[in-house]
Amino acid sequence: MAEKIQMKTPLVEMDGDEMTRILWKMIKDELLLPFVDLKTEYYDLGLEYRNETDDQVTKDSATATLKYGVAVKCATITPNAARVKEYNLKEMWKSPNGTIRAMLDGTVFRAPIVVKGIEPCVKNWKKPITLARHAYGDVYKNAEIVIPGAGKAELVFTAEDGSVSRELIHDFKGAGIIQGMHNTDASISSFAHACFSYALDTKQDLWFATKDTISKKYDHRFKDLFQEIYEAEYKERFEAANITYFYTLIDDAVARVMKAEGGFIWACKNYDGDVMSDMVSSAFGSLAMMTSVLVSPAGVYEYEAAHGTVQRHYYKHLKGEETSTNSVATIFAWSGALRKRGEMDELPALCRFADKLEEATLATIEAGKMTKDLALITSLENVKVLNSEEFIKEIRSTLETLL
| Binding at 274: pick from ligand NAP, Mg ion, none (beta carbon under 5-8 Å per type) | Mg ion
Among 60, 119, 201, 274, binds Mg ion (CB under 5 A): 274
| Binding at 388: pick from ligand NAP, Mg ion, none (beta carbon under 5-8 Å per type) | none
List contacts with ligand NAP (CB under 6 A). 75-78, 97, 287-288, 304, 307-312, 325-326, 373
What percentage of the chain's residues is helix, strand, coil (to nearest 5)? 45, 20, 30
- Least Cβ distance, residue 45 to Mg ion (angstroms): 22
Q: Work out whether 343 is an interface residue with Mg ion (CB under 5 A).
A: no
185 vs 278, which CB is nearer to Mg ion? 278
Q: What are the Cα distances from residue 167, in Å, to 152, 157, 171, 254? A: 11, 9, 11, 32
Widest pairwise Cα distance in the chain:
80
Please give the residue whose beta carbon sits closest to ligand NAP in the complex: 308
Only one of the segments 83-91, 231-239, 276-284, 380-388 lies at the binding site for Mg ion (rule: CB under 5 A); that segment is 276-284
Q: In angstroms, rounded to a whole number, what is the distance separating the alpha carbons of residues 125 and 144?
A: 39
Burial of 259 (0-12, 13-18, 19+ CB in 10 A): exposed
Only one of the segments 29-37, 183-191, 272-280, 322-330 lies at the binding site for Mg ion (rule: CB under 5 A); that segment is 272-280
| Binding at 374: pick from ligand NAP, Mg ion, none (beta carbon under 5-8 Å per type) | none
Q: In angstroms, rounded to a whole number, what is the distance separating the alpha carbons of residues 403 and 355?
A: 10
User: How many positions of this chain bind Mg ion (CB under 5 A)?
Assistant: 2
Q: What are the Cα distances from residue 349, in Å, to 35, 342, 354, 393? A: 11, 8, 9, 22
- The per-residue DSSP string of 145-170 comes to EEE-SSEEEEEEEE-TTS-EEEEEEE
18 vs 105, which CB is nearer to ligand NAP? 18
| Binding at 75: pick from Mg ion, ligand NAP, none (beta carbon under 5-8 Å per type) | ligand NAP
DSSP-derived 3-state class of residue 112: strand
- Least Cβ distance, residue 310 to ligand NAP (angstroms): 4
Please give the residue whose beta carbon sits closest to Mg ion in the complex: 274
Q: In angstroms, rounded to a whole number, what is the distance separating the alpha carbons of residues 333 and 293?
A: 8
